[in-house]
Amino acid sequence: MGAVNGPPSAVRHLHYASWSPSSLPIRCSTLGLPRRPFLFLLRSPPPPLRRLGNNRVRCSAERNALFNRIAPVYDNLNDLLSLGQHRSWKRMCVSWSGAQRGNRVLDLCCGSGDLVFFLSQKVGTEGEVYGLDFSSEQLSIASRREDQYWKACYKNIEWIEGDALDLPFSDSYFDAITIGYGLRNLIDRHKAMREIFRVLKPGSKVSILDFNKSTSSLVNMLQEWIIDNVVVPTATEYGLSQEYKYLKTSIAEFLTGKELEKLAKEVGFSKAKHYEIGGGFMGNLVATR
Ligand SMILES: C/C(=C\Cc1cc(O)c2ccccc2c1O)CCC[C@H](C)CCC[C@H](C)CCCC(C)C
Ligand SMILES: C[S@@+](CC[C@H](N)C(=O)[O-])C[C@H]1O[C@@H](n2cnc3c(N)ncnc32)[C@H](O)[C@@H]1O
């Protein structure tokens, strides 16, 4: 993330939906209401991360604070720790979503926007891309990156500060949905999947990229070893050890590929298939409404 002078001008695209962490004086609103570009000046610092046993970060407000805190280093650490591989996994996720030129698409838990930028290029200027996240810091970085790496198609992007568990969209609104490393971090995955199902058009797909909770104990051991011995020590250099220890806990509490397929079927998806990628470290669920 390069430094950018001045206020984040691309917050012009930012809409505020129903998410409202306790520290933010954000009232509920929906798409199309006036933008409030200087809201960031009113923001009080995020609450400190409350650690529960085993690095669990249980409620949404604490997770929001965690993602605000890691935002300044998030992109650089992903590049470094995955040796750049996360971009190939994200490209694959977009490709599996079935997004086509001219489509209206959504990236949930968009963070600093990687998947949104890939989707934007995919659907082109005739398409529409919505990136939704509840972390104002992640969205600020996403909109700065939009300015920094300007491309004509990026005009099709709208950033929305909102809650993935209560989407500010009408039923059957999207041609495709992606989520990268988001579902695992949601407090209520069942509710999230029901919301995704609701806003997808019949026949359309959601593509969900995340760490794979493998059924192979060798892959799990290797994954845990890398987090303990590479990821956490690196994050500690930036004062973010607890935040990255949460990663291991969250993977342990996540669903296996088969469990993800079952969850998708339970909420009504007609097809659901989970693919292991990145040597089994990562997984991608593709579900068709
Ligand atoms: C994409 C990466 C991390 C995303 C990420 C997701 C979260 O939920 C977080 C929660 C809290 C803090 C941070 C994050 C977060 O950064 C980077 C993943 C890197 C992996 C940990 C390491 C991958 C190692 C290898 C390069 C994989 C290659 C395997 C090989 C093909 C055998
Ligand atoms: C690990 S990051 C992934 C960011 C991005 N998708 C990527 O692949 O780089 C997880 C993101 O989920 C967001 N998130 C977690 N819970 C959320 C919720 N209930 N509503 C909206 N965003 C949420 C966080 O703010 C964070 O930006």
Q: Whose CA is nearest to atom 2 of ligand 1?
A: 78
Residue 81 alpha carbon, nearest atom of ligand 1: 19
Q: Report the pLDDT averaged over residues 212-241.
A: 96
Contact 19, 138 (CB under 8 A): no
Residue 138 beta carbon below 6 angstroms from any ligand 1 atom: no
Contact 116, 131 (CB under 8 A): yes
Rounded to the nearest whole angstrom, what is the distance from the C-alpha of residue 221 to the centroid of ligand 2? 25
pLDDT of 16 reads 64
Contact 135, 60 (CB under 8 A): no
Residues 221 and 156: their CA atoms lie apart, in Å, by 42
Token digits for 71? 């935002």
Q: Report the pLDDT averaged over residues 80-91.
A: 97
Q: DSSP readout, 72-97?
A: HHHHHHHHHHTTTHHHHHHHHHHHHT
Rounded to the nearest whole angstrom, what is the distance from the C-alpha of residue 72 to the centroid of ligand 2? 14
Quickly tell me which residue has 């997984």 as its tokens: 283
Q: Which of 63, 281, 282, 284 to mutate to test the pocket of ligand 1 (most atoms within 8 A of CB)?
A: 281
Q: Which of 15, 20, 87, 109 to mutate to test the pocket of ligand 2 (most atoms within 8 A of CB)?
A: 109
Residues 33 and 35: their CA atoms lie apart, in Å, by 6
Q: Report the pLDDT averaged over residues 239-262.
A: 96
257-266 vs 189-199: helix crossing angle, rounded to 10 = 50
Ligand 2 environment, Cβ below 6 A: 60, 63, 67, 109-111, 114-115, 133-135, 138, 163-165, 180-182, 185-186
What band does 276 get if pLDDT is binned at 50, 70 and 90?
very high
136-148 vs 114-123: helix crossing angle, rounded to 10 = 50
114-123 vs 85-96: helix crossing angle, rounded to 10 = 50
| Number of the ligand closest to the Cα of 226 | 1
Q: Whose CA is nearest to atom 8 of ligand 2?
A: 180
Q: DSSP readout, 121-144?
A: HHH-TTSEEEEEES-HHHHHHHHH
Is 23 a residue whose pLDDT tops 60?
no
Contact 125, 154 (CB under 8 A): no
Q: Which of 108, 159, 185 to mutate to test the pocket of ligand 2 (most atoms within 8 A of CB)?
A: 185
pLDDT of 13 reads 53
Is 30 a residue whose pLDDT tops 60?
no
Residues 169 and 172: their CA atoms lie apart, in Å, by 9
Q: Report the pLDDT averaged over residues 253-265.
A: 98
Is 31 a residue whose pLDDT tops 60?
no
Cα distances (Å, whole numbers) of residue 197 to 100, 147, 265, 274, 285: 19, 32, 10, 17, 14
| Number of the ligand closest to the Cα of 137 | 2
pLDDT of 43 reads 36
Which DSSP helix (H) or strand (E) runs through 106?
strand 104-108
Contact 131, 142 (CB under 8 A): yes
Q: Report the pLDDT averaged over residues 98-109.
A: 98
Rounded to the nearest whole angstrom, what is the distance from the C-alpha of residue 112 to the centroid of ligand 2? 9
Token digits for 165? 């568990």
Q: Report the pLDDT averaged over residues 240-261.
A: 96
Q: Whose CA is nearest to atom 28 of ligand 1?
A: 278
Sheet holding 282-288, edge to edge: 14-16, 157-161, 128-133, 104-108, 174-180, 200-211, 282-288, 271-277
ipTM of predicted assembly, 2 dp: 0.96
Token digits for 276? 């292991």
Q: Report the pLDDT averaged over residues 244-265.
A: 97
pLDDT of 59 reads 86
What are the pLDDT digits (tens) for 145-175? 999 999 999 999 999 999 999 999 999 999 9
